[in-house]
Amino acid sequence: MTAPAPTRSSAELIRAEEPVLAHNYHPLPVVVARAEGTWVEDVEGRRYLDMLAGYSALNFGHRHPALIEAAHRQLDRLTLTSRAFHNDQLAEFAERLTALTGLDMVLPMNTGAEAVESGIKVARKWAYDVKGVPADRATIVVAAENFHGRTTTIVSFSTDETARAGFGPFTPGFRIVPYNDLAAMEAAIDETTAAVLLEPIQGEAGVIIPDDGYLAGVRALTERAGCLLIADEIQSGLGRTGRTLAVEHEGVVPDVLLLGKALGGGIVPVSAVVARREVLSVLHPGEHGSTFGGNPLAAGVGTAVVELLETGEYQRRAAELGVVLRGGLHRLVGRGVVGFRARGLWAGVDVDPAIGTGREVSERLMGEGVLVKDTHGSTIRLAPPLTITAEELESALASLEKVLGA
C-alpha cells in the first residue's frame, strides 16, 4: 500500500468537506486513503479492519488482484462505447451472468437504484404487453421497511419518513404490506398486480431475515396470481449469505433478479436486471437505456466478478465463516448484545441501548481499529469482505466484546 504523502490531515480533510459537500451523509470520522483486502488505512497511516465492505460492494475485499487486473486490462484497451455500438466485452458478461443465475437475459445498468427503477419499468411493461393489465393500472406490491434506493419513484414506496419527507409528490402504483406476512401479501395481490418486489433479507432495516417458508410462499402466491417476483439481491446477493443468491436458501427462482454493488467488484458501478426471456423481451429499442450501462470497463470487471463466483469459493467462505460470526455473536447475547440476526457473513446486531446508540458503538469500534456502520437506533451491521480470515473475524468480535464492556 503505497501512495503519495497526504498534504492534509484527516481532521483538515473532514473540515474541508463541510462547506462544499452536501450533508446527505454522516460518515464516521475516518478518512481512508488506501486499502487492500480486508484492511483500510487512513491518511495518518492508522489501519482498520473493514467490517462493512462498502455495504457489500466489496464482497471480494479491496482491490482483489483478479479484479484489478481485469480493470487494468480494460483501461488499456477500451472503456466506453455507449450502446450506440457493440463492444467486445458485453456478450461474455451477459452469457456468464445468466449461466451463474440460471436466468435468460441481462439488462445492464450502473447503480442499484437504476436496476430497481429498470425492474419496475420492465414489470409494468410486462403487465400491459403480456398479462393484459389495462393501461396505467399496474400495481407493484412491496414490503414495509424496504430499502431499494433513493430515486423519486423508489422513495415513493419507502416507509422511512426520513427518506421521503420533502420529496413528494410521489409515484403511484405501489401497495405496501408488512414484511414476512404471507396473508397480507395474498390480500394485496389482485389482477392489476404486475409484480411483488422484495429484498430476500432486508439489509438496511437491520438484516431482517424472514421466517423459513416466506420466500417460497411468496413465490407460490405470485405463480398462482400470474404476476412476477422481483428479488432485489443488490445487497444480499453474490455470495454474502453463503450462496450465490439469498433466494437459493429457499430454492426460489425469481422472474426478475436485481444485482448491483459487488457486481462492480468495488471498482466501478455495475448493476443489472437479470430475468426470464419472456419478461426482458418486452423492451424494444428506444424504450429504455443508459449511456454507461454495459460499458466495456464495467462488463470486463463484471465478468471477472462472475468468474470469482463461479469457483464457489466465496460462497463457501461466507457459509463457513458465518458459523464463526454467529458463534461469536451468540456468546455476546446478554453481555451487551440483546439480539442478532445473521446469515452467512452478514449480521444485524442489536446492542443494549443502555450501552450506547449504534453510532456510539460504531465510533468506539473505530477507536479499536474496526469499521462498522449503524442502522436504526442501537443496531449495527456487520458485513465484512468474504475474503476475511477466521482470525480477523475473531479479532473484530473481540473488539466488539471490549467496546460493549462484556
Ligand X SMILES: Cc1ncc(COP(=O)(O)O)c(C=O)c1O
Q: Which of residues 194-213 bind ligand X (CB under 6 A)?
A: 199, 203-204
98: which 3 cell numbers? Answer: 445468466
Q: Which of 100, 197, 234, 279 binds ligand X (CB under 6 A)?
A: 234
Q: Does 263 bind ligand X (CB under 6 A)?
A: no
Q: Does 249 bind ligand X (CB under 6 A)?
A: no
Q: Which of residues 54-93 bind ligand X (CB under 6 A)?
A: 55
Nearer to ligand X, 97 or 337 (CB): 97
Q: Does 231 bind ligand X (CB under 6 A)?
A: no
Q: Does 265 bind ligand X (CB under 6 A)?
A: no
Nearer to ligand X, 199 or 350 (CB): 199
- How many residues bind ligand X (CB under 6 A)? The answer is 15
Nearer to ligand X, 112 or 322 (CB): 112
If one counts every other C-beta atom within 10 angstroms of the C-beta of residue 401, the result is 16
Q: Which of 235, 362, 379, 399 binds ligand X (CB under 6 A)?
A: 235
From the list 16-24, 33-41, 229-237, 351-359, the region that binds ligand X by CB under 6 A is: 229-237
Q: Which of 51, 113, 195, 262 binds ligand X (CB under 6 A)?
A: 113
Query: Considering the complex, what minimum distance in angstroms separates the CB of residue 333 from ligand X?
Result: 26
Q: Does 117 bind ligand X (CB under 6 A)?
A: no
353: which 3 cell numbers? Answer: 441501548
Nearer to ligand X, 200 or 336 (CB): 200
Catalogue the active-site residues. Answer: 147, 232, 261
Q: Which of 125, 148, 175, 343 binds ligand X (CB under 6 A)?
A: 148
CA angle (178, 139, 187) in 5-degree steps: 45
Query: Considering the complex, what minimum distance in angstroms separates the CB of residue 25 from ligand X?
Result: 12
| Nearest position to ligand X, beta carbon | 112
| Torsion sign over Cα 230, 236, 240, 246 | negative
From the list 64-72, 79-87, 111-119, 353-361, the region that binds ligand X by CB under 6 A is: 111-119
Q: Which of 93, 147, 292, 346 binds ligand X (CB under 6 A)?
A: 147
Q: Are 371 and 363 in contact (CB under 8 A)?
A: no
Query: Considering the complex, what minimum distance in angstroms separates the CB of residue 101 from ligand X?
Result: 16
Compute and round to an integer the Cα radius of gyration of the chain. 21
Query: Considering the complex, what minimum distance in angstroms separates the CB of residue 271 from ligand X?
Result: 7
Q: Does 260 bind ligand X (CB under 6 A)?
A: yes
Give burial (CB, 10 Å; 0-12/13-18/19+) of 135: exposed
Nearer to ligand X, 140 or 332 (CB): 140
Query: Considering the complex, what minimum distance in angstroms separates the CB of residue 203 from ligand X?
Result: 5
Characterize the bridge pairing of strands 193-198 and 228-232: parallel
Q: Are 279 and 256 in contact (CB under 8 A)?
A: yes
From the list 85-93, 146-154, 293-301, 323-331, the region that binds ligand X by CB under 6 A is: 146-154
Nearer to ligand X, 173 or 269 (CB): 269
Nearer to ligand X, 50 or 232 (CB): 232
- What residues line the site for ligand X (CB under 6 A)? 55, 111-113, 116, 147-149, 199, 203-204, 232, 234-235, 260
